């Protein structure tokens, strides 16, 4: 019998990363931030000057990634070729490249087993876009977390302002809409709730309320 997986999918800015981490902490489960794998692939490709239109080459980069995730003081860091690249993979140019790289079917195929390998006792929380539909279709608990584009842009705005970064709310909203569009309309593993997913809308409820709903589901189903 396989260890249980809790999948949390949704658009960027829905809060799924935050919720996934809280749920994993609470249950003592491992955590898979699948977006980080696409970001690492993008960073490796940019570093090696790989043409982002060369699908075969991108798949090769994905298959040969030398990466690991370290946990220290409750913070996860991404290490590639022995170097901590946690900050690098969050850079704007890497985000853009990641969403391009993620649309390549051969890249998704190359990362599939790597993602499944994160499944281990006592359980796994996996967040992304296609965790419930493609990577862990047999997960006993599937969440699809959304929020309106306006609310997601507003949250991102507060977060960046808190870090002293000056941005325009309107630009952020445009970015979010563009990413949603790419994620939902690609041919392979588009962003969509699994048929058996529970859809939670966090537009008008706070993190604690979302966390409670997810934990209630977990207790009912595992
Ligand atoms: O979630 P995050 O923003 O870190 O994801 C980075 C990129 O990887 C996104 O643009 C998204 O399109 C892609 N992604 C994906 N499938 C996943 C997770 C992320 O296509 N399971």
Please state the domain extents for the chain. 5-212
Q: Return the pLDDT at 189.
A: 86
Residue 123 near residue 27 (C-beta atoms within 8 A) = yes
Question: What is the per-residue pLDDT for 173?
Answer: 94
Tell me the CA–centroid distance for residue 128 and ligand 1, in Å.
6
Position 96 scores a pLDDT of: 86
Q: State how far the alpha carbon of 146 is from the alpha carbons of 2, 134, 153, 200, 205, in Å.
A: 28, 19, 12, 6, 11
Average pLDDT for consecutive 10-residue bins of the chain (222 residues)? 94 92 96 97 98 98 97 89 96 90 96 97 96 97 96 92 91 90 87 94 93 95 87
How many angstroms does the Cα of residue 97 sit away from the middle of ligand 1?
11
Q: Please work out whether the CB of residue 128 comes within 6 Å of at least one atom of ligand 1.
A: yes
Token code pair at residue 67:
């990466």
Q: Is 39 in the pocket of ligand 1 (CB under 6 A)?
A: yes
User: What pLDDT score does 146 carry?
Assistant: 95
Distance (angstroms) between ligand 1 centre and the Cα of 127 equals 9
Distance CA 108, CA 86 (A): 21
- pLDDT, tens only, 32-41: 999 999 999 9
Atom of ligand 1 nearest to the CA of 179: 10
| CATH superfamily of domain region 5-212 | P-loop containing nucleotide triphosphate hydrolases (3.40.50.300)
Q: Whose CA is nearest to atom 20 of ligand 1?
A: 102
Two structure tokens written together for 103: 């649309």
Burial class (CB in 10 A: 0-12, 13-18, 19+), 200: buried
Q: Rounded to an integer, what distance in angstroms lies between the CA atom of residue 172 and that of residue 153? A: 6
Q: Is the CB of 12 under 6 A from ligand 1?
A: yes
Distance 38 CA to ligand 1 centre (A): 6
From ligand 1's centre to the CA of 36, what distance in Å? 7
Decide whether any atom of ligand 1 lies within 6 Å of the 34 Cβ: yes
For residue 57, give every residue at least 6 positions away whose Cβ sits within 8 Å of its Cβ, in sequence order, or none.
45, 50, 51
Which residues are part of a known binding site?
Answer: 10-18
Complex-level ipTM = 0.98
**133 within ligand 1 shell (Cβ under 6 A):** no
pLDDT in tens, 148-176: 999 999 998 998 899 898 899 999 999 88
Sign of CA dihedral 204, 208, 209, 211: positive
Residues in the chain: 222
Whether the Cβ atoms of residue 79 and residue 67 lie closer than 8 Å to each other: yes
Asked whether the whole model's pTM tops 0.90, one would answer yes
Are 88 and 36 in contact by the 8 Å Cβ rule? The answer is no
């Amino acid at each position: 019998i396989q260890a249980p997986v809790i999948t949390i999918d949704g658009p960027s800015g829905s809060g799924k990363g935050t919720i996934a981490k809280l749920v994993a902490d609470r249950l003592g489960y491992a955590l898979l931030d699948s977006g980080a794998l696409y970001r690492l692939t993008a960073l490796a490709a940019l570093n090696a000057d790989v043409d982002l239109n060369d699908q075969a080459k991108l798949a090769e980069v994905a298959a040969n990634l030398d990466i690991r995730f370290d946990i220290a003081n409750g913070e996860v860091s991404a290490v590639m070729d022995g170097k901590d690249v946690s900050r690098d993979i969050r850079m704007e140019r890497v985000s853009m490249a990641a969403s391009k790289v993620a649309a390549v079917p051969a890249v998704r195929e190359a990362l599939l087993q790597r993602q499944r390998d994160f499944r281990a006792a006592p359980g796994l929380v996996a967040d992304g876009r296609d965790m419930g539909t493609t990577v862990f279709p047999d997960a006993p608990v599937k969440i699809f977390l959304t929020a309106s584009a306006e609310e997601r842009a507003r949250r991102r705005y507060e977060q960046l302002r808190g870090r002293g970064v000056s941005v325009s709310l309107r630009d952020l909203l445009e970015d979010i809409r563009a990413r949603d569009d790419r994620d939902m309309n690609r041919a392979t593993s588009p962003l969509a709730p699994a048929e058996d997913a529970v859809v939670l809308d966090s537009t008008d409820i706070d993190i604690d309320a979302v966390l409670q709903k997810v934990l209630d589901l977990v207790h009912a189903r595992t």
